[in-house]
Structure 1
Amino acid sequence: MRTGTFAPDGQATQEQPFRKGNLACSHEWLEDVASLDEVLARLDVLRAADPAHCYLSTLDDLDQCSYTCGHASQDERLYLEVPEGFDWEDPVQLAAWECDSLRHRAGQLRNPELMQSWEQVCGTLCTIGPDVDALLAANRAPEQLLDDVLYLQRVPVAAQDLAIAGLPNGYFSADWDMFQNHAVIRHLGQAHGYAFFGMGASWLGFARAQPLDAAMARQLAAELRQLYGKGREEVLEHGGWAQLAALLAQRRTLLLGYTESFAETLDLGEGD
């Protein structure tokens, strides 16, 4: 695994070939990642050295993630108006506005009038049977989700669930938006001990210190069955939920799709 740190202005150079784009909180990038455990280990190192910040990795499809992040941040519930006379070419003004915007988004996530619950999110994503197959495939081999380059976000927020404010996503109307994703993040953290560590164009990443025990894994699988299958008989009756419970008792990570047709992001071969 190779790492690199972004230039202060976030622009690409010969020595630093990647630019931040719409991901303003990007701190460093990773290349040649062989396993998800490598990503988690690097995040642990960064957090230990800098406990004042939260850290979050991109996952799948970096370019699409950056594109939809730019649009998702324009949501009227999240967008901070640009001050009159603002100069987009002034790096000092731009950095200050980006910081203010992030604080505004984090505050909106904790706004009781905007917060959603797990129960409200259940059944809101239009899912079909292959989406359950995709959940199984992604959690069996999460490395297949990772793009060739990952951006690690350094987010100045007080709690890990708020790190999504540094990587807002969920732009298209059929996807979970940032408030719905935040409801999922909060519930998994509070009820099951999963910390939010990653977000891509279609997937969320979570990790806990140890895998769930068998009973807790079955309970979470039952909750996920309702999250994705409420009102959808094909999904509720899919045989993969018991297999997912078995996986959750073996692995400490959890990958969840949050966009319409997230199964299409994986090459599902026969038998997955």
Structure 2
Amino acid sequence: MKLEYRKNYCGEFLCGYYRIHDLVDINDILYEAQVLSQGSHGYKFIMTLDDIGQASYTSMHSKMSNELDGGEWLTSENIDPSWMDGDFLRDDLGFDKKFLIRKLGFKHGLSNVKLEDIFKKSLFLDQESRDDVIEVNKNPLTVIDKEVYLLKVPVEYSYEAILSFPNGYFSCDLSPFENYRLAEHLEKEYGFHLFGIGASYISFIKGPRFEPKKVDMILEFLAKIYLKNEDREFIDFMRLSILNRDILTLRYSE
């Protein structure tokens, strides 16, 4: 595996990033991300997952429809007048300023979203999507596109790294704010840190605060999101996967 750092910031991600080449073992990128994190205080690292083209497309539309980078809410913020061109943000703002605006956009969107809103989405797994979730948790590489990036995001918590590549556009998907609440909950309550997002999937990695004794609580939480009826085989698989693997991969789309 090789990491190629792109010196120029990317407007799509609003952060520095690495292109990942020749990824054949998921543990390689987990190790590299850990090493980079230790030497990059004030940053968190997440990677892109499935279908980078579709994920980029839906992220673009999600940012627009959710007014993450500007909207009527700008008038309620104490924005430096030099950042504005009339009622709109200047197109030539630097990436550091654009990221601050993105934070404000998320703050406004999150004010109306609670964790419980996730349960209102119809993310119940049918047989095909159930089998897909099992397969990607057996082998996380199956959900990673050949074109893949590791994002270096200037945030304090892993769940905040979603600001760099917000996704969830269609009405049946979790929105960017609901994905944020999901990642926030899994980190604060169970010690799983956001590590990747794509067009349909979102992944998490165990942190030092993960407690095996909480696995039944995690399973109960996941069952409320994904299972319309009892599915003991699926729950038993997820229990063993959570206990024995470092990565947890979930769907955020229908």
The bucket for the TM-score relative to the shorter chain is 0.7 to 0.9
Find the partner of 1:100 among 97, 122, 143.
97
How far apart, CA to CA, are the structure 2 residues paired with 1:119 and 1:87? 36
Find the partner of 2:13 among 10, 23, 26.
23
What corresponds to 1:187 in structure 2?
185
How far apart, CA to CA, are the structure 2 residues paired with 1:133 and 1:175? 19
Report deviation, 1:116. 2.8
Report deviation, 1:256. 0.8
What corresponds to 2:80 in structure 1?
none
How far apart, CA to CA, are the structure 2 residues paired with 1:50 and 1:237? 42
How far apart, CA to CA, are the structure 2 residues paired with 1:3 and 1:237? 40
CA 1:33 to 1:243, structure 2 compared with 1: closer, same or farther past 3 Å?
Answer: same
How far apart, CA to CA, are the structure 2 residues paired with 1:30 and 1:158? 23
How far apart, CA to CA, are the structure 1 residues paired with 2:181 and 2:240? 25
What corresponds to 2:235 in structure 1?
241
What corresponds to 1:228 in structure 2?
226
Q: Which runs of 5+ in 2 are unaligned?
A: 72-82
CA 1:7 to 1:255, structure 2 compared with 1: closer, same or farther past 3 Å?
Answer: same
CA 1:112 to 1:126, structure 2 compared with 1: closer, same or farther past 3 Å?
Answer: closer
What corresponds to 2:250 in structure 1?
256
**Counterpart amino acid of residue 85 in structure 2:** E
What corresponds to 1:266 in structure 2?
none
Q: Which has the higher helix share?
A: 2
Find the partner of 1:65 among 55, 59, 67.
55
1:137 aligns with 2:127: no
Q: TM-score, normalised by structure 1?
A: 0.78
How far apart, CA to CA, are the structure 1 residues paired with 2:20 and 2:114? 34
What corresponds to 1:16 in structure 2?
none
What corresponds to 1:49 in structure 2?
39
1:32 aligns with 2:22: yes
Indicate the SS of the match to 1:239. Answer: helix
Find the partner of 2:154 among 142, 153, 156.
156
Asked if the contact 2:2/2:21 (under 8 Å) is kept, the reply is yes
CA 1:21 to 1:80, structure 2 compared with 1: closer, same or farther past 3 Å?
Answer: closer
CA 1:83 to 1:125, structure 2 compared with 1: closer, same or farther past 3 Å?
Answer: farther
**Counterpart amino acid of residue 200 in structure 1:** G
**Counterpart amino acid of residue 148 in structure 1:** K
CA deviation map 1:180-201 (0-9, x unaligned): 0011001101110011111111
Number of residue equivalences: 240
CA 1:113 to 1:28, structure 2 compared with 1: closer, same or farther past 3 Å?
Answer: closer
How far apart, CA to CA, are the structure 1 residues paired with 2:48 and 2:110? 29
CA 1:100 to 1:228, structure 2 compared with 1: closer, same or farther past 3 Å?
Answer: farther
Identity of matched residues, %: 24
Indicate the SS of the match to 2:64. Answer: coil
Asked if the contact 1:188/1:194 (under 8 Å) is kept, the reply is yes
Find the partner of 2:125 among 128, 142, 148.
128
CA 1:100 to 1:115, structure 2 compared with 1: closer, same or farther past 3 Å?
Answer: farther
Asked if the contact 1:109/1:162 (under 8 Å) is kept, the reply is no
Asked if the contact 2:190/2:209 (under 8 Å) is kept, the reply is no
Q: TM-score, normalised by structure 2?
A: 0.83
Indicate the SS of the match to 1:249. Answer: helix
Asked if the contact 1:29/1:150 (under 8 Å) is kept, the reply is yes
Indicate the SS of the match to 2:244. Answer: coil
Asked if the contact 2:109/2:177 (under 8 Å) is kept, the reply is no
How far apart, CA to CA, are the structure 1 residues paired with 2:110 and 2:143? 34
How far apart, CA to CA, are the structure 2 residues paired with 1:210 and 1:49? 18
Indicate the SS of the match to 1:23. Answer: coil
Report deviation, 1:104. 2.7
Q: Which runs of 5+ in 1 are unaligned?
A: 11-19, 261-272
Asked if the contact 1:212/1:248 (under 8 Å) is kept, the reply is no
CA deviation map 1:36-70 (0-9, x unaligned): 21111111122111112222111111122221221
